[in-house]
Amino acid sequence: MLFEEVANYYSKLEGTSSRLGMIDILTEMFSKAKKNEIKDIIYMTVGSPAPPFQGVDLGIAEKLAEEAIATATGAEKQKVEASFKKTGDLGLSAEQFISASKLRRMSREKFEINEVFETMLKIAKTNGAGSKDAKIKMLANLLAASTPLEARYIVRFALGQLRLGAGDATILEALSKAATGNREFKPKLEEAFNICSDLGLVGETLMKEGKRGIEDFKVTLFNPIRPALAERLPTAEEILERMHGKCAVESKYDGLRVQVHMDKKNRRVEIFSRRLERMTEMFPDITSAALKEVNAEKVILEGEAIAYDETTDQFHAFQETMQRKRKHGIEEKSLELPLRVFSFDLLSLDGESYLNKKYSDRRARLEKIVKGNGMFRLSGRIIATKPREIEKYFEEMISDGLEGIVAKDLDAPYIAGARKFSWIKMKRSYKGELSDTVDLVVVGYYVGKGIRTEFGFGGMLAAVYNDKTDMFETITRIGTGFSEENMRTFKKLFGDIKVAKKPARVSSLVEPDYWVEPKYVVTVRADEITKSPMHTAGRHKEGEEEIGYALRFPRIVSNGIREDKSPEEATTTKEILEMFKQQRKTKVGEEA
């Protein structure tokens, strides 16, 4: 497929405000692609030169891209900079300069998608002395031979600013339609994606091997598995009812969720975040401890890494633990904030997948390979058959400074990438108010009035994630609780991802000053959930009126940004509906 065709499809995607329209456009593009092109097209469409867990970064800064545009078109760099200041989009600037350039297009045939992608990947992998000039030259050569529309998307992709808005679920649905003519195969594609976390590989396997290739997908060491997620309930009685009268109750640690992959014979360890980002170099202490302490040859296990103060025998707050996630000063910080990794699940052992084994079997095997009192330890847990046993353990965890508990179905498999009632988390729940925090996706922001105009930020429009429709539904506008540092940070973060119109996957009746790509998750506390005609979260008809749900008196928790969570891991519409029903229930351990 010519890259010119792909660019035309991208232009159509930009022009649609409908998710269903987006699926149709993607379906047509995938249907026309050759089998050896589908992987590259998918990677480019999601704006990444490789799956996130491979940690491949294009490394193109705006100044470098400006130089490449100037070199490709013969324009003065100052004019490129002036255009960028005016448009706020180097892709549009590149399109304009290529269109106006009097330099002749290089004498060659039009680009194939594979050629463009291979060049971009080569740029990403160019490092060391002279790499800056080499990157500029490769990008400039590519732009010089491009059409204006191709140049728009080449530059945006190079900057990591493609922003087509196609989520994982949308792409999987389009792949199903392209390969089978309908959406019915999407659940199988999701299962494959959940155990390999590689959309490109799923698409390529489907197109080359058909349905059988997808159904035969296997867990692979060093390909992270998408994490299982927990539902929430406010009372021990409801938990036990869901668990048929008996369950495991584990301590809920407020740290960094890590997935550790180890091949002891080859002394290779890889560490992935809950967002499946590769973090291995950030945690050399976890790597060395895994090789020494985990009694297995090849293993994939999950745990929660949390900073611990040995002098006070106390866990640090989440914000302290997050300081360990860094690229510089790693050794010094590891001494200042030593970690403990509380292992809570076993996903694969010596080449055998444990995903379909019962929780009780996975835990029993985990207890045999994690035994010591070093960095790697087992998560605390009990087996409960009575509500009071759950309540007592919950109270102990809170008094120990932990976040709460997670109840687990003893007979359930590990359900990768899904939020099910086989895991149920419980935090404090007070009568008459919403004391549990929610994680929301920022979909827009406001400039603000009065003193806030100097910061260029006055508030944000936030949404929950509807995992059934793959849409972000608004639930609140947050305009209070920001420090001056917050406002400066949010203006920079959101200003870098603002888009010209409402993203296709956002459902909103409210119009912010600026729409943004759904990228950042913020942690919010509110007094309660109320019904609202203004927001689309859980929107339904009541009598003659369309009603959704909103948060009353929302405010940001700490700095708010949850760097460890993807937009699709935000609080769901379904959770909001459940919390609305439960928010007036009695506090755990308190008499009605």
pLDDT, one tens digit per residue, over 298-333 is 999 999 999 988 777 788 888 888 888 888 888 888
Q: 204-256 pLDDT, tens per residue?
A: 999 999 999 999 999 999 999 999 999 988 889 999 999 999 999 999 998 99
Say what angle helices 186-196 and 168-180 make with each other, to 10 degrees.
Answer: 130
* CATH 2.40.50.140 residue spans of the chain: 438-582
CB neighbour burial string for 566-589, b if at least 16 within 10 angstroms, e if fewer: bbbbbbbbbbbbebbebbebeebe
Neighbours of 505 (CB within 10 A): 27
Average pLDDT over residues 338-350: 96
**From the CB of residue 400, how many other CB atoms can be counted at a distance below 10 Å?**
12
Q: Is the pLDDT of residue 150 over 90?
A: yes
Whether the Cβ atoms of residue 590 and residue 428 lie closer than 8 Å to each other: no
The average pLDDT across 332-351 equals 93
Q: How confident is the model at residue 110 (pLDDT cuts 50, 70, 90)?
A: confident
- CATH C-level class of 3-159: mainly alpha
Residue 584: per-residue pLDDT: 58
CATH 3.30.470.30 domain range(s) in the chain? 229-426
**Distance (Å, rounded) from C-alpha 269 to C-alpha 266?**
9
State pLDDT tens for residues 60-78: 899 999 999 999 999 999 9
* CA-wise closest residue to 486 among 513, 461, 456, 514: 456
- Which part of the chain is CATH 1.10.3260.10? 3-159
229-426 belongs to CATH 3.40.50.300: no
Cα–Cα nearest to 265, from 221, 220, 217: 221
- Cα dihedral sign for 112, 113, 116, 122? negative
pTM, full prediction: 0.87
Q: What is the length of the chain?
A: 592
pLDDT at 427 over 90: no
Residue 558 has pLDDT above 80, yes or no: no
Rounded Cα distance, 393 and 58, in Å: 48
- Which residues are the active-site residues? 252
pLDDT reported for residue 431:
37
Instruction: Tell me the average pLDDT of the chain.
Output: 91
Is 84 within 8 Å of 153 (Cβ atoms)?
Answer: no
428-474 per-position pLDDT tens digit: 643 334 667 899 999 999 987 766 677 789 899 999 999 999 999 99
Q: Could you tell me the CATH superfamily of domain 438-582?
A: Nucleic acid-binding proteins (2.40.50.140)
